[in-house]
Amino acid sequence: MEISTLTTYHCLAFAWYCFVAYSIAHVRTEERPSEVFLYGGQWKYLTVLNLVLQAVFYGVSFLADVLRLIKKLRCAKCVISSRDLLFSVLAFPVSTFVCISFWTLYTYNRELVYPKSLDGVIPRWLNHAMHTAVLPFAVLEILATPHRYLAKKKGVILLGFVAFLYISWVLWIYSVTGEWVYPLFASFSPAGLAAFFAGSLAVIISFYNFGEFLNRMIWGQCKFCF
């Protein structure tokens, strides 16, 4: 993809995610369903954290494109390294996990992750913007430009550390409020919950590997990996 076209795409994607994040941040809290508690705000939901992550990623990507356009190659190289790290370790696996896990659980029993009462608060388009569109954006990014991946061990460790931080945040919220971020968690025993978290980590690592596979198949391996 031409650099000017890529710059336009990243600018539009950045604006889109900023708009979606702004829209969900301004959902009227006075209309919240009884299932939704206030502690932690919207920052307790992986979906909302992912929107911020995507906005940051596309903002960094846009900056890298602009630096390349104005021939600031030394600065661009540093920003591109940050862009590739964000995408490979977080942006692709997390957005893929959010989309697939949400719609799988929603199809099985939506009350476990997205109670029907939320339909009166969050518009349908916003639900799809948060939970559906994130995956096509991630795949399109792989098709649009190559990304360098860390050595497998480093990438998996970093992704696992971030997952550990989020799980710790979820457990902290439960210890303070006695309420689970997602109703699904209440149906598990402690051992079952530990198994669920471990399984989720295995799934998101598989999405990391899948992103690396796609990147390698489309763009080659040695040239773009470090």
Instruction: Report domain extents, the chain.
Output: 5-28+37-219
Burial 198-224 (b: 16+ CB within 10 A, else e): eebbeebbebbeebbebbeeebeeeeb
* Residue 88 pLDDT greater than 50, yes or no: yes
Written as six digits, the tokens of 145 are 């430009």
Alpha helices in the chain, H assignment, sequence order: 3-25, 46-69, 73-85, 92-109, 124-131, 134-144, 152-177, 190-219
pLDDT at 224: 41
Place of tokens 């939704």: 36
What share of the chain in percent tops pLDDT 70? 92
Q: What is the pLDDT of residues 39-54, one digit of tens each?
A: 778 889 999 999 999 9
d(CA 211, CA 89): 9
Nearest by Cα to 27 from 123, 99, 133: 123
**Single pTM value for the model:** 0.91
Share the mean pLDDT of the chain.
90
222 confidence band (pLDDT: 50, 70, 90): very low
